[in-house]
Amino acid sequence: MRKTLGLAALAAVLFCGAANAQQINVKIGVLSDMSSLYADIGGPGSVAAAKMAIADFTKDHPNVKVEMISGDHQNKPDIGTQIANQWYDVDKVDMIIDVPNSGVALAVSQVANNKNKVFIVSGAAASDLTGPKCNANTVHWTYDTWMLANGTGTAIVKTGGDTWFFLTSDYAFGHALERDTMAAVEKAGGKVLGKVRHPLNTNDFSSFLLQAQSSKAKVIGLANAGGDTINSIKQAAEFGIVKGGQSLAGLLVFASDVAALGLPTAQGLVLTETWYWDANDANRAWTKRWHEAGAAAGKFPTMIHAGVYAGITHYLKARLAMGPGEHDGKSVVAKMKSISTDDPLFGKGEVRADGRVIHPAYLFEVKKPSESKYPGDFYKLRATIPANEAFRPLNEGKCPLVSG
Amino acid sequence: MIEIFGIPSQALFGQLLIGLINGSFYALLSLGLAVIFGMLNIINFSHGAQYMMGAFAAYLILQYSGLGYWPALIIAPIIVGITGVIVERLFLQWLYKLDHLYGLLLTFGLALIFEGVARNYFGSAGLPYTVPESLQGGRNLGFMFLPNYRAWVIVASLTICIGTWFIIERTRLGAYLRAATENPTLVRAFGINVPRMITLTYGFGVALAAFAGVMAAPIYNVSPQMGSELIIVVFAVVVIGGMGSILGAIITGFGLGVIEGLTKVFFPEASNTVIFVIMAIVLLVRPAGLFGRRT
């Protein structure tokens, strides 16, 4: 009797094991700035986008079980690294996504490489992530500083803004954006007259704007983001910079920044993004669902949120193709590079050998208040940059994976 | 053009003026803190959050009643001051007999709550608030373009600071208040309602913070974290000036604003640390602060 029971139990366990062998278990961590200046461009909105991506994918593929956790890196590389280490080691997270703030992203990229897990960057911009600091565990989605520099920078020089002064955020992102835009400006025939570096999260830009004014440059390039950009633009209006004949180049501006500035202050700004919520019906429908997934009402999704959705979708596609079982980071990323991307938000593109995801970019101009018909109606499309021109050519990046 | 240390004199004077303008914000905020600490012995860590609440109150007053900047300058501090009074009655009055640290912890916790609630409802990118019509534009002073609004900031701040100092140091009401903090029992024996004075003083300090918030709304980003960025610097200012001294807070506020402005010209990357370097030096040399009278 006992032997029969034992055999039956063994059979039950083996049978369960066989059924579970079809199931693919994935754990994803959304690491973002939940409480500080980048919380609107990433933050809880990224968590909502992640929830949507997981729900949409598992609806079509019920044998994939995805668990998601989220965390706040507070824009500090040491905290970001500590969370990444804990997630990869203790919490068995397979993939970390988002991470606005290039300083934190560069640090987490190293952690992912050391632990051989996957890291998909949607929020951070520094092109070094697919340049000298690239590795086989990191995929850089959405955008980067090279794309911004060449989209916005080149367009402005072509319309006559050929002398520049930079107002730069003093950390990895600002330096990268300033470097890439300087290169783009000089390539297009412009000249850089000077630059000033300000600490991250600065309240008052009057002193730096005064230096920009006295440089007499035609264009003041704002190599900063989030609250810093908003303050720079607001205070530039106050100091009569635009009325005095200089123009502002917002090198990284999101729809949430435009909402915070208000159209009267932000009108005329030229910017480059890879996704806009109001560009077509698919994006509008996605935005509606994003609000239902828990994002704050009255806010609009940014391209970073779209990147989180697309990045998770592509990662899950790769995991599905690889089947159940443990897979190390490098092999999953290699799989992601072998499948071309085709998602409802960014369209067709691919993950390159250096980890860079390429898709089309769009040059937008902020509408005048009279041209805006409803809340969130911010941009008009000036130009579309095809995918293979929008991002830095593969052989120019100095990525060890490519030249090696 | 004369050059001083490699910077054209025109640019230097412009930066000095801007430093003075920033100094007026530091002075206004540190005045509120100095009043609360000097009079009540409470380390009010929620000062930054109350500054933020002043700015948000101005925005909400505009949204819901259409009243603009000038009415908000009076209404917002009153509203936030009343919340300060409520906080004092509900929480702070139990902590006077205890170590300073408890007041610090409580107000710090309150600051986190206020910020979190604001972030939950409004997001962190910020809200738009424009400079009032009558103060828009500016004048070209030759060495720089001075926006009218910034000139108004200096004038208003100086007026409020000098007015507050006068009330506390030179009027009978101020004398009662200073006596009440030194020896509450004796003052009570004279028939003066000490607890009410303390409550109103806290409310006044909070209202000062909110006033600074309304002044900041048109030029700085109205976001939930606007206070936490500023409060650390303001504490450094108060410590340098001397925790109990009203005059010290005002003079140090303006002075440090100018020093920070000069740092932004010569070494901009250090501009958010120079005040702390000065604080460290002052604490080593004069632990009570430059004007402090407590040992």
The yes-or-no verdict on residue A1 having pLDDT over 70 is no
Higher-pLDDT residue of A138 and A341 is A138
Query: Helix (H, G, I), strand (E, B), or coil: what is residue A191?
Result: strand
DSSP per residue over A161-195, as a string?
--EEEEEEESSHHHHHHHHHHHHHHHHTT-EEEEE
Could you tell me the CATH number of the domain that includes residue A344?
3.40.50.2300
At a CB cut-off of 8 Å and minimum separation 6, what does A34 contact?
A: A43, A44, A70, A71, A72
Min Cα separation A175/chain B (Å): 13
* Segment (H or E) for B266: helix B246-266
Query: Helix (H, G, I), strand (E, B), or coil: what is residue B138?
Result: strand
Residues A298 and A246 both lie in one domain? no
Could you tell me the CATH number of the domain that includes residue B165?
1.10.3470
Q: In which band, very low, low, confident or very high, does the pLDDT at B136 lie, cut at 50, 70 and 90? A: confident
Average confidence (pLDDT) over A259-272: 86
Kindly state whether residue B72 falls inside one of the protein's structural domains.
yes
Q: What's the pLDDT score for residue A315? A: 94
Q: What's the pLDDT score for residue A19? A: 46
Residues A63 and A153 both lie in one domain? no
Out of A196, A199, A238, whose CB is closest to B272? A199
Residues A79 and A159 both lie in one domain? no
Kindly state whether residue B120 falls inside one of the protein's structural domains.
yes
Residues A252 and A227 both lie in one domain? yes
Residues A232 and A367 both lie in one domain? yes
Min Cα separation B150/chain A (Å): 9
Kindly state whether residue B295 falls inside one of the protein's structural domains.
no
Kindly state whether residue A109 falls inside one of the protein's structural domains.
yes
Kindly state whether residue A14 falls inside one of the protein's structural domains.
no
The yes-or-no verdict on residue A247 having pLDDT over 60 is yes
Phi, psi of A139 (to 5 degrees): -120, 130
The yes-or-no verdict on residue A31 having pLDDT over 90 is yes
Out of B22, B221, B272, whose CB is closest to A260? B221
Kindly state whether residue A70 falls inside one of the protein's structural domains.
yes
Residue contact A197–B125, C-beta within 8 A? no
Residues A263 and A367 both lie in one domain? yes
Kindly state whether residue A5 falls inside one of the protein's structural domains.
no
Out of B120, B125, B268, whose CB is closest to A257? B125
CB A96 within 8 A of CB A29: yes
Q: Convert the pLDDT of each residue in A133-147 to its tens digit.
A: 999 999 999 999 999
Residues A165 and A242 both lie in one domain? yes
Residues A120 and A182 both lie in one domain? no
Q: Convert the pLDDT of each residue in B56-92 to its tens digit.
A: 999 999 989 888 899 999 999 999 999 999 999 999 8
Kindly state whether residue B139 falls inside one of the protein's structural domains.
no
Q: Convert the pLDDT of each residue in B223-259 to its tens digit.
A: 888 888 788 889 899 889 887 788 888 999 999 999 9
Integer Cα distance of A58 and A53 in angstroms: 9
Average confidence (pLDDT) over A73-82: 93
Residues A215 and A298 both lie in one domain? no
Question: Tokens at residue A82, please?
Answer: 């500590």
Q: Convert the pLDDT of each residue in B137-179 to its tens digit.
A: 888 887 777 888 988 999 999 999 999 989 988 998 888 888 8
The yes-or-no verdict on residue B295 having pLDDT over 60 is no
The average confidence (pLDDT) of chain A is 88
Domains: count for chain B? 1
Q: What's the pLDDT score for residue A7? A: 65
Min Cα separation B177/chain A (Å): 35
The yes-or-no verdict on residue A9 having pLDDT over 70 is no
Kindly state whether residue B20 falls inside one of the protein's structural domains.
yes
Residues of B in contact with A299 (CB under 8 A): 123
Residue contact B268–A37, C-beta within 8 A? no
Strand partners, A193: none
Out of B123, B126, B230, whose CB is closest to A230? B126
Q: Return the residue matching tokens 């044998």.
A: A63
Assess B150–A contact: CB distance below 8 Å, yes or no.
Answer: yes
Residue of B nearest to A254 (CA): B125
The yes-or-no verdict on residue A403 having pLDDT over 70 is no
* Segment (H or E) for A349: strand A347-351
Question: pLDDT over 70 for what percent of chain B?
Answer: 97
Kindly state whether residue A167 falls inside one of the protein's structural domains.
yes
Residues A381 and A253 both lie in one domain? yes
Mutate which of B51, B149, B221, B276 to disrupt the A interface (most A C-beta within 10 Å)? B221
Q: Convert the pLDDT of each residue in A195-237 to its tens digit.
A: 999 988 888 888 888 889 888 899 999 999 888 898 899 888 8
Q: Convert the pLDDT of each residue in A35-57 to its tens digit.
A: 887 888 888 999 999 999 999 99
Q: Which domain holds residue A239?
A: 146-273+361-390
Identity of the residue numbered B154: I
Q: What's the pLDDT score for residue A11? A: 58
The yes-or-no verdict on residue B210 having pLDDT over 70 is yes
DSSP per residue over A225-236, as a string?
-THHHHHHHHHH
Phi, psi of A35 (to 5 degrees): -135, 0
Assess A323–B contact: CB distance below 8 Å, yes or no.
Answer: no
Q: What's the pLDDT score for residue A404? A: 47
Out of B119, B218, B223, whose CB is closest to A227? B223
Kindly state whether residue B167 falls inside one of the protein's structural domains.
yes
Integer Cα distance of B101 and B106 in angstroms: 9
Residues A244 and A318 both lie in one domain? no
Out of A37, A214, A231, whose CB is closest to B11? A214
Residue B274 CA: distances (Å) to CA of A259, A326, B129, B280? 34, 51, 30, 10
Q: What's the pLDDT score for residue B229? A: 78
Residue contact A40–B15, C-beta within 8 A? no
Q: What's the pLDDT score for residue A14? A: 55
Query: Helix (H, G, I), strand (E, B), or coil: what is residue A83?
Result: helix
Kindly state whether residue B140 falls inside one of the protein's structural domains.
no
Q: Which domain holds residue B222?
A: 10-128+147-285
Q: Convert the pLDDT of each residue in B178-199 to its tens digit.
A: 888 778 888 888 888 888 888 9
Residue contact B125–A196, C-beta within 8 A? no
Q: Convert the pLDDT of each residue in A107-131 to its tens digit.
A: 999 999 999 999 999 999 999 999 9
CB A88 within 8 A of CB A117: yes
Kindly state whether residue A7 falls inside one of the protein's structural domains.
no
Q: What's the pLDDT score for residue A190? A: 92
Residue of A nearest to B123 (CA): A40
Kindly state whether residue A12 falls inside one of the protein's structural domains.
no
Residue contact B147–A211, C-beta within 8 A? no
Domains: count for chain A? 2
Kindly state whether residue A398 falls inside one of the protein's structural domains.
no
Q: Convert the pLDDT of each residue in A159-203 to its tens digit.
A: 888 899 999 999 989 999 999 999 999 999 999 999 999 988 888
Residues A254 and A371 both lie in one domain? yes
The yes-or-no verdict on residue A18 having pLDDT over 50 is no
Residues of A in contact with B120 (CB under 8 A): 296
